[in-house]
Amino acid sequence: MTRFPLAALALASTLAAGMAQAAVLTESNISTTDAQKLATASVAACQAKGYNVSAAVVDRAGVLKAFVRADNAGLHTVEASRAKAFTSVSAKSPTLAMMENAQKNPGAANLTDIPGFLLLGGGVPVKAGSAVIGAIGVAGAPGGHLDAECADAALAENAALFK
């Protein structure tokens, strides 16, 4: 009968030691207010160049936080902007660079097989210091590089938010 209490005590000690080593993670994330500012600024930057686009901003987990669609932006731009933002935050990289690398490297061409990935320019990570806290996706300009320029302009305009 003394074996059971000793075994239970050993198990409890092991579990307690494991819990003592576990740590609560603290992660930074983009706020809804800042996400909305970036989406609005991205659309405005493209409208200033005559492009009707959609802009989506996702948080660090790739979940949509803000979305703005310019009048007359194409229907396809809604999902494309979200997918570009998701791809960018997932890879912590601009989608234009990812697309160019996939075109040059046959081994990376299969990135397009990942569900939800869209390898077109216009997805740009949002960073606070070196931590990726979200991403912007812009779609609808006549070229992904132009979508990316609008996202970059929005980040530059709002740089003080992420210092």
What would the pLDDT profile of 118-157 be if each residue is shown by its tens digit? Answer: 999 999 999 999 999 999 999 999 999 999 999 999 999 9
Asked whether 121 and 67 are in contact (CB, 8 A), the reply is no
Number of domains into which the chain is organized: 1
| pLDDT at res. 13 | 63
Instruction: Output the 3-class SS for the chain.
Output: CCHHHHHHHHHHHHHHHHHHHCCCCCCCCCCHHHHHHHHHHHHHHHHCCCCCCEEEEEECCCCEEEEEECCCCCCHHHHHHHHHHHHHHHHCCCHHHHHHHHHHCHHHHHHHHCCCCCCCCCEEEEEECCEEEEEEEEECCCCHHHHHHHHHHHHHHCHHHHC
Range with lowest mean pLDDT among 7-16, 23-32, 98-107, 110-119: 7-16
| pLDDT at res. 7 | 58
CATH code for the domain of 53? 3.30.450.150
The answer to whether position 24 is within a domain reads: no
pTM of the entire structure? 0.85
What would the pLDDT profile of 48-63 be if each residue is shown by its tens digit? Answer: 999 999 999 999 999 9
| pLDDT at res. 19 | 59
The answer to whether position 17 is within a domain reads: no
The answer to whether position 15 is within a domain reads: no
The answer to whether position 46 is within a domain reads: yes
Domain of residue 39, residue span: 32-162
The answer to whether position 16 is within a domain reads: no
| pLDDT at res. 54 | 98
What would the pLDDT profile of 72-119 be if each residue is shown by its tens digit? Answer: 999 999 999 999 999 999 999 999 999 999 999 988 888 888 999 999
The answer to whether position 9 is within a domain reads: no
The answer to whether position 1 is within a domain reads: no
Tokens of 86: 């998701």
The answer to whether position 126 is within a domain reads: yes
